[in-house]
Chain A
């Protein structure tokens, strides 16, 4: 039985509260960092969603959990729409694995 967390600006994440997510509403990099750290330390979070704009601020922190099976730190768009950050994450993973951008090159 694991929890799902979400980190992001207030207006974007509030709705997720209704679904039983653990909501961390943050406005700057520092509070986002400590929220993420707290969630990881807690050990009960399997998935932590982070809104793209916040994720871009704390990229180095997220990078640390990339190679661990848990938790999955996944970026999602916030209320102002997608910045393409989440998609670029997949692209980077592909780039890392294959060494060439073959999946997204058609765009």
Chain B
């Protein structure tokens, strides 16, 4: 891991310590965010999975009756029959804030253009077509709900990925770097402190020696004078 180079000064130490506490707080917050996002994501995905299974099986039923209808009438006829929509669906989109991720909410309302039944002549089309279209109308709500859930899941997945990266970067890169920086500075400062102390002791020793020497000299001359 790349070490950060720091000047071993008290100011630098103070700076690093603040950055470390900030990083630790950010890390905790992001971790909480990630956990909550994950919980919501799992809820969405579980529901989506169930819904998709249901929609897929019902859709294949629709396709079944639809292909029978296509088999018994000519393609032009089929197209002609279907070109006028039976229902005019209105889709409203609103946005919801989910853990600061903007997710869409689809609100689908089907309103019949013609009152009841189907919008084409009965004479040239088969009964299977009617069934297919009625069935298809029935799963519209679920289809739209599925689209909403799946989009939400995609957006949440992106956000979770981002948050996870941030959490990891803080936990494994930033915070250890700060810690080692702080440790280096502290050790350097202590080392300086010790160096200073020994120097002082040494100087004191020298001074004491000098005074002793001086005293000795004085007492020596005194003794000589006495003689």
Residues of A that sit less than 8 Å from B by CB: 1-4, 11-12, 14-21, 46-47, 49, 66-67, 69-70, 72, 74, 76-79, 81-82, 86-87, 89-90, 93-94, 96-99, 103-104
Bound Cα distance from A39 to B213, whole angstroms: 102
Min CB distance A35 to B, Å, is: 17
Min CB distance A62 to B, Å, is: 10
The 10 listed contacts between A and B (C-beta, < 8 Å) are A14-B82, A19-B89, A19-B137, A46-B104, A47-B144, A77-B56, A90-B49, A96-B157, A97-B37, A97-B41
Contacts between the two chains (Cβ within 8 Å), count: 144
In B148-196, which residues have CB < 8 Å from any A CB? Answer: 148, 150-151, 153-158, 160-161, 164
User: Is B23 at the interface (CB under 8 A from chain A)?
Assistant: no
Bound Cα distance from A94 to B79, whole angstroms: 40
Residue interface mask B190-212, A partner, CB < 8 A = 1: 00000000000000000000000
Bound Cα distance from A49 to B154, whole angstroms: 15
Residue of A nearest to B46 (CB): A103
The secondary-structure label for the interface of chain B is helix
Residue interface mask B78-106, A partner, CB < 8 A = 1: 11001101111111110100000011101
How many of chain B's residues touch chain A, expressed as a range? Answer: 35 or more
User: Is B67 at the interface (CB under 8 A from chain A)?
Assistant: yes
Does A18 lie within 8 Å of B147, measured CB to CB?
Answer: no
Residues of B that sit less than 8 Å from A by CB: 37-38, 41-42, 45-46, 48-49, 52-53, 55-56, 59-60, 62-63, 66-67, 70, 78-79, 82-83, 85-93, 95, 102-104, 106, 110, 118-119, 132-133, 136-137, 140, 143-144, 146-148, 150-151, 153-158, 160-161, 164
Does B158 lie within 8 Å of A66, measured CB to CB?
Answer: yes
Does B136 lie within 8 Å of A76, measured CB to CB?
Answer: no
- Contact pick for A19, options B70, B86, B155, CB 8 Å: B86
- A residues less than 8 Å from B160 (CB atoms): 96-98
- Contact pick for B48, options A16, A90, A97, CB 8 Å: A90
Bound Cα distance from A54 to B93, whole angstroms: 26
- Contact pick for A87, options B49, B92, B119, CB 8 Å: B49
Residue of B nearest to A82 (CB): B56
- Contact pick for A77, options B59, B92, B104, CB 8 Å: B59
Bound Cα distance from A98 to B154, whole angstroms: 12
Does A77 lie within 8 Å of B60, measured CB to CB?
Answer: yes
In the A-B complex, the 4 residue pairs with the smallest Cβ-Cβ separation, listed nearest first, are: A72-B151, A20-B85, A97-B157, A97-B160
Min CB distance B167 to A, Å, is: 12
